[in-house]
Amino acid sequence: MFELFNPNWRVPFMKLSRVTLVLSAIALVISIALLVRPGLNFALDFTGGSVVELHFDQPADPGAIRAVLQQAGYEGAQVQSFGTARDVLIRIRPEQEQDQAGDADPTVATGGLRQSAGELIQTALANAGMESELRRNEYVGPQIGQELAEDGVVAAIFVIAGMMIYVAVRFEWRFGLASVAGEIHDVLLTLGFLALIGSEFDLPAMAAVLAVAGYSINDKIVIFDRIREMFRTTRKLTPEETIDVACSTTLSRTVITGVTTLLAVGALYLFGGVALKSFSVTLIFGIIVGMYSSVFFAAPVLGRIGVTKQDLMPKMRDETELARRP
């Protein structure tokens, strides 16, 4: 097996944790502050709004369409190619639609469709010399967006709780606590990064956050499994030294897996188009944070909790628990 780092090289992760845990705590505080203000830039998937599909006779330039819409007062409108170069999908927020429609009744349509937004956008583009055919004009209510946001929070809670239970059952409850601490660390830092750069938080971004949680726990399980193995097979090493050796011997695997995953996600970012931007950006940052937290946060937290060889040996664990009782 190819080793990027010398497996006999021991990195003092537990000593470095005096610095890395403080840095992580500072980053967590900053991320929480960013989530409070300015907060996530929720996309139409969560805020509601109108979706307009237009068909052009010639290949359309989303950048030029976006510039025309911005001049017409549709700030932050999402414009992307849809299917072919001649089909364009435009998303606008509900308050923008109301501002542009004026006193017009926003529900003038049948079947829940709002024609005013599509017609106004079509007219603005026609005035700029971009003739188009209105193919679709749908409205997503704020209530539906709120339900999606609530479902996303529930999904994230169930994912983290399920991972904690799995790790606690497979290893030991202290490993479960350390894994959840790492998951919360990775998810909060990823969300804070999205709030910092102002990237729109849509359904693909939410899926990427859940994917980050899954990727991160996978890496942590590999390291925890190595820690458990070394606790059971070594006799002369202290718990801190055992964690250092375990993290050092799996460091090559952690970095190589992360880099190869980043290459694939980087290709999505470069060639996946606008629709996958939020997904790929979220994954790129989350994978980097996950690699860092596996060896510099979750493993040191496990050591700080106080896991020992006795906790992982069934017979010795029972005797230790009896000795701990008052």
pTM check: above 0.85 = no
**Residue 33: band (very low, low, confident or very high) from pLDDT cuts 50, 70, 90:** very high
Task: For residue 284, tell me if it sits in a domain.
Answer: yes
What is residue 195's predicted lDDT score, i.e. its pLDDT?
Answer: 93
**Residue 311: band (very low, low, confident or very high) from pLDDT cuts 50, 70, 90:** low
- Domain-terminating residue out of 140, 163, 186: 140
Shared-domain flag, residues 194 and 287? yes
Task: For residue 248, tell me if it sits in a domain.
Answer: yes
CATH number at residue 116: 3.30.70.100
Query: Between 28 and 94, whose confidence is greater?
Result: 28
Q: Is the pLDDT of residue 322 over 60?
A: no
Shared-domain flag, residues 306 and 182? yes
- Distance (Å, whole) CA 266 – CA 273: 12
Task: For residue 319, tell me if it sits in a domain.
Answer: yes
* Highest mean pLDDT: which range of 40-49, 222-231, 269-278: 222-231
- Distance (Å, whole) CA 90 – CA 53: 6
**Residue 171: band (very low, low, confident or very high) from pLDDT cuts 50, 70, 90:** confident
What is residue 144's predicted lDDT score, i.e. its pLDDT?
Answer: 66
Q: Is the pLDDT of residue 110 over 50?
A: no
Residue 45: CB partners within 8 Å, gap ≥ 6?
140, 145, 148, 202, 203
What is residue 28's predicted lDDT score, i.e. its pLDDT?
Answer: 96
Shared-domain flag, residues 208 and 269? yes
Shared-domain flag, residues 63 and 161? no
Query: Between 321 and 43, whose confidence is greater?
Result: 43
Shared-domain flag, residues 27 and 109? no
Shared-domain flag, residues 22 and 167? yes
Q: Which residues are bridge partners to 11 per DSSP?
A: none
Q: Is the pLDDT of residue 58 over 70?
A: yes
- Domain-terminating residue out of 140, 169, 192: 140
What is residue 50's predicted lDDT score, i.e. its pLDDT?
Answer: 83
For the stretch 190-219, pLDDT in tens is 999 999 998 888 888 888 998 898 888 888
Residues 179-189, mean pLDDT to the nearest whole number: 92
**Residue 7: band (very low, low, confident or very high) from pLDDT cuts 50, 70, 90:** low
Instruction: Identify the domain containing residue 135 by its residue range.
Output: 49-140
Q: Is the pLDDT of residue 154 over 60?
A: yes
- Domain-terminating residue out of 75, 105, 140: 140
CATH number at residue 300: 1.20.1640.10
Task: For residue 116, tell me if it sits in a domain.
Answer: yes
What is residue 287's predicted lDDT score, i.e. its pLDDT?
Answer: 94
Collapsing DSSP states into helix, strand and coil, what is residue 297? helix
Task: For residue 92, tell me if it sits in a domain.
Answer: yes
Shared-domain flag, residues 180 and 298? yes
Shared-domain flag, residues 26 and 164? yes
Count up the domains in the chain and report the number: 2
What is residue 314's predicted lDDT score, i.e. its pLDDT?
Answer: 56
Task: For residue 199, tell me if it sits in a domain.
Answer: yes
What is residue 310's predicted lDDT score, i.e. its pLDDT?
Answer: 73
Residues 3-13, mean pLDDT to the nearest whole number: 74
Residues 162-180, mean pLDDT to the nearest whole number: 83
DSSP string, 146-182: HHHHHHHHHHHHHHHHHHHHHHHHHS-HHHHHHHHHH
Q: Across all residues in the chain, what is the average pLDDT? A: 82
